[in-house]
Structure 1
Amino acid sequence: MDAFKLNNNSNKPTLTPETFAKLRDFIDSKCGIHFADNKKYLLEKRLLNRIEHKNLKTYEDYLCYLTYDKGKDIEMRLLYNSISTNETSFFRDPVQLDVFRRGVLPGIIETKKARNDKSFRIWSAASSTGEEPLTLAMILMEEGLHNLGWTIDIIGSDISDGVLSMAQKGEYENYAVRNTPPTILKKYFTQTGSSTYKINSEVSAFVKYKNINLLNVSDTRMVRQRDIVFCRNVLIYFTDATKKKVVNNIYDSLAPGGCLFVGFSESLHNITRLYKPVSIKNSVVYNKM
């Protein structure tokens, strides 16, 4: 596509308000990530490397490439790597994790025991580099489920191939484990350097990673009969319309009686009535009705 080639001048392209609106709406329609008007600078910065990598002249050219070029599908996956926010750590938001462990987990275990079902299925949606699903695996291991004949099945998903590749490696810096209790760090990690750790294989064996676009029903249909879904600190990046689509897709992936955890700053109020909000220890979880 010669029309897209960059000339040899050193001037960096500028994102005009008109093209920002087009790109913003295009990205929103593809993955739900929404850049508000005051985040124009952020989108401009995050896409610049992709424009330079493709030797394009302008942001408008980049939008044309994403729309019409034969390599657009591959480029969209690379774009997701560039625009995703991946702030996470092990044992993040311990209050919610305590609600999961002491307020939700016992009830689900008793219900499943009564049905003679000793499988436990979790989906960590938008799992980034793997800290959340691995945290959940360690909690279940601390409860001893794996030694009591239970099958633990955890899916970690993200739209970014880049973070999923990092999750598969299971290697982490000090910053990622800063909230991890010392006893847990010693038990389930191997220190590989002065400030680096690798998750032990006995933990990572319980987690499988998938590339899933939460807006895409054909993607979310790959995940079924989940007892619990964690979709924390994700909805804040979506419009209300997109939030509704995402949580409706998640609803279909939950088993009867399953529950959804969202972030502390997130709520399904005025988004959907599919779930029943339940207050547990100053936290809210959403049960499938």
Structure 2
Amino acid sequence: MTSTAATGAGLADADFERFTEYFYKRTGIHFAPSKRYFVDKRIEACIRESRYGTFTSWFAALRMNEKPEMLQQVINELTVNETYFLREDYQFDAMLSTVLPAVLAARGGVHRMAGPVKILSLPCSTGEEPYSIALRLLEEWDQIDHVDVEIHGADIDSEVLAKAAHASYGERSLQRVPKPWLAKYFVPVGAGRYQVDEGIRGAVTLHRVNVCDTAAMRSYRDYDVIFCRNVLIYFDELSSRRAAENLFGALRPGGYLFLGHSESMSRISPIFTPTRLPEGIVYQRPTGAT
């Protein structure tokens, strides 16, 4: 069968299989046949924007790393970035009421702990989650004036990270932000959009990383709290286990991992200890783990 040109006809079956196998090896993300239409449309868009007329020539250049930015473009096209401020905020409640007090106690208390409390949002998408964490801490954590906190956001998609850095949001993203917070921490920029103020933007450090990339994840260490919500559902068993091990390595012993409401670490790996809080389940790296 002739390889598909970017005509809207969709990829040939063999091309779809070749691409999804390659993408899985590079990212850990698996696309089932049920996602065929979504993948076809995104790949055809990439081919149209390139100088290659067919899937075969485009895919050959991609695999040969002829243009390194090609893979990043594909990743940006195929990753889903659905988010808004204060999403699944019951987990932020748990962080404030139970997790952070436990972190402070385990590290010797406010006046004896060495180094900052470190929080990671991965994937952070366009920034709503890490900025939500900052807002909740500033407005509702009684220790915020006494404890240094580092907030980090990370994602595989370079385009959403650029949007997170700019931090300009519309009505849909901001629908759950209380009006007093909007007036206090956001600046109107026109067309119904608001930008997070410079102080909060400066408090969040952004990184590009693939949670399945073990070598890259080795530089992420000693986090007290990690939010990794609604991403493991896109991985198969092998990739999920690799991601779990990388998250485990990124946590400080005794640190806490929040997953999405439909995700369960018990189905992936036994290395975390599930802890039931009033707000739900959180997963903890055992204190004796090395």
Specify the code of the residue in structure 1 equivalent to 2:181.
I
d(CA) in 2 for partners of 1:116, 1:27? 43
Q: Would the alpha carbon gap of residues 92 and 11 (structure 1) be closer, same or farther in structure 2, given more than 3 Å must change?
A: closer
My pick for the range that moved more, 193-202 or 124-133, is: 193-202
Matches within 5 A, 1:15-164: 15-71=11-67, 73-114=68-109, 115-117=112-114, 119-142=116-139, 143-148=141-146, 150-164=147-161
Structure 1 position 194, deviation (Å) = 4.8
Q: Secondary structure at the match of 1:269?
A: helix
Specify the code of the residue in structure 1 equivalent to 2:258.
F
d(CA) in 2 for partners of 1:229, 1:90? 17
State the number of aligned residues.
Answer: 280
Q: Secondary structure at the match of 1:229?
A: strand
Q: Secondary structure at the match of 2:265?
A: coil
**TM-score calculated relative to the size of structure 1:** 0.91
d(CA) in 2 for partners of 1:254, 1:62? 39
**For residue 193 of structure 2, what is the aligned residue in structure 1?**
196
Structure 1 position 65, deviation (Å) = 1.7
Structure 1 position 118, deviation (Å) = 5.6
Asked if structure 1 preserves the Cα contact closer than 8 Å seen for 2:123 and 2:153, the reply is yes
Q: Would the alpha carbon gap of residues 138 and 70 (structure 1) be closer, same or farther in structure 2, given more than 3 Å must change?
A: same
Pair 1:178-2:197 in alignment:
no
**For residue 247 of structure 1, what is the aligned residue in structure 2?**
244
Specify the code of the residue in structure 1 equivalent to 2:246.
N
d(CA) in 2 for partners of 1:61, 1:38? 26
**TM-score calculated relative to the size of structure 2:** 0.91
d(CA) in 2 for partners of 1:270, 1:77? 30
Q: Secondary structure at the match of 1:122?
A: strand
d(CA) in 2 for partners of 1:54, 1:44? 16
Q: Secondary structure at the match of 2:154?
A: strand
Structure 1 position 238, deviation (Å) = 0.7
Q: Deviations over 1:1-32 (max 9, x none)?
A: xxx9x8xxx84453012111111111111112
Q: Secondary structure at the match of 2:24?
A: helix
Structure 1 position 69, deviation (Å) = 4.4
Runs of 4+ more than 6 Å apart: none
Root-mean-square deviation over aligned CA pairs: 1.8
My pick for the range that moved more, 214-223 or 54-63, is: 54-63
Gaps of 5+ in 1: none
d(CA) in 2 for partners of 1:231, 1:158? 10
